[in-house]
Amino acid sequence: MAIAALQLRKRSVLPGFGLALGFTLLYFGLVVLIPLAALVVRGMQVDSAAFLKTVTAPRALAAYRLSFGASLAAAGLNVVFGAIVAWALVRYRFPLKKVVDALVDLPFALPTAVAGIALTSLYAPTGWLGRPLAALGVPVAYTPLGVVVALTFVGLPFVVRTVQPVLEDLDAELEEAAASLGAQRWQTIRRVILPEVLPALATGFALALARALGEYGSVIFIAGNMPLKTEVVPLLIVIKLEQFDTGGAAALALVMLAASFVLLLTINLLQRWSTRRRAPLGD
């Protein structure tokens, strides 16, 4: 850190670099690094054979599969539909638009347990949506699909809120230019608009994914929590804790932590790569 500080100590016209960096490190340390470090330390205390046994148990493997699979699916769904919602909110005027705009944030505000219970009663085999869906042979509640539904619900605002401002800033002249050059509507969307919003979509995807991976409250109600079938990793960790197996819980948490970090880092790098040469057309 001392070396970095020495290298960064260049004279700047913007004062407060030392203060800002110091505060950032302190804050980041207190809020993020120290708890995570404690987690790592606790995980390391587990005997390596036991660690390996815990993290590769069939029940754990099934939970990883469900957690990552359902989270990726939910984030993917949110990218598609969140982008459409953002588009509608930015480009069109319709009655109650302000209300719809406010509703987008509701999954943020609602206690996740409330959301979970509401979704469960809706999608249960006796619920309004669950009954017709079950009749069609698509049970939702207490299946992996139910997990995807809950994770989609809690992740929706991320994509909408990251894409919306980018679309608002997107110059309508770009679309007019494309049209005057003979591009059909879908060509304009694919070749002009999509590349512009791609970084925002990636950010929204990453945020929705991160949120979904850690989600607990809304999932446990709709998932049914059958071991090997509909058990997500956060639930498994809680179960371990309830059995006073803090070592096992920390081991699972470490795996999740590492996997999530790699995933998010990859998305960030992809995003960096896609925007590398793009600076705003300012003048």
Partner 1 sequence: MSIAVRRVSKTFGTFRALDDVSLDVRTGELVALLGPSGSGKTTLLRIIAGLETPDAGTIHFHGEDATALRVQDRRVGFVFQHYALFRHMTVFENVAFGLRVRPRRVRPDRREIRRRVQRLLELVQLEWLADRYPAQLSGGQRQRVALARALAVEPKVLLLDEPFGALDARVRAELRRWLRRLHNEIHVTGVLVTHDQEEALEVADRVVVLNQGRIEQVGTPEEVFHHPATEFVMHFLGHVNVFRGRFVGQKAVFGGIELDVPDAPETGSLEARGFVRPHDLDLSVTPGPDTLLEGTVMRVNAAGPQVKVELRSDAGEVIHVELSQERYRALALAAGMRAYVRPRDIKLFPSNARAAGAAAPVG
Which chain residues interact with partner 1 by CB under 8 A?
A: 171, 173-174, 176-184, 187, 191-192, 195-196, 277-281, 283
Q: Which is nearer to partner 1, 95 or 182 (CB)?
A: 182
Q: Which residues of 201-220 are buried (b: 16+ CB within 10 A; e: fewer)?
A: bbbbbbbbbbbbbebebbbb
Max CA pair span of the chain = 71
**Residue 250: CB minimum distance to partner 1, A:** 44
| DSSP H helical ranges for 136-245 | 144-169, 172-180, 185-188, 194-214, 217-223, 233-242
Q: How far is CA 170 from CA 87, 131, 174, in A?
A: 11, 43, 8
User: Least distance from C-beta 178 to partner 1, angstroms?
Assistant: 7
Nearer to partner 1, 100 or 194 (CB): 194
C-alpha distances out from residue 23 to 3, 16, 29, 253, Å: 18, 10, 10, 28
Nearer to partner 1, 244 or 273 (CB): 273
For residues 198 and 11, give the distance between their C-alpha atoms in angstroms, rounded to a whole number: 36
Q: Which amino acid does the sequence have at 280?
A: P
Q: How far apart are CA 162 and CA 156, in angstroms?
A: 11
Minimum CB distance to partner 1 smaller for 45 or for 187: 187
CB 187 → partner 1: shortest distance, Å? 5
Q: Which is nearer to partner 1, 10 or 93 (CB)?
A: 93
**What's the rounded Cα separation, in Å, for the pair 202 and 266?**
11
Q: How far is the CB of 209 from partner 1 (least distance, A)?
A: 24
Q: How far is the CB of 186 from partner 1 (least distance, A)?
A: 10
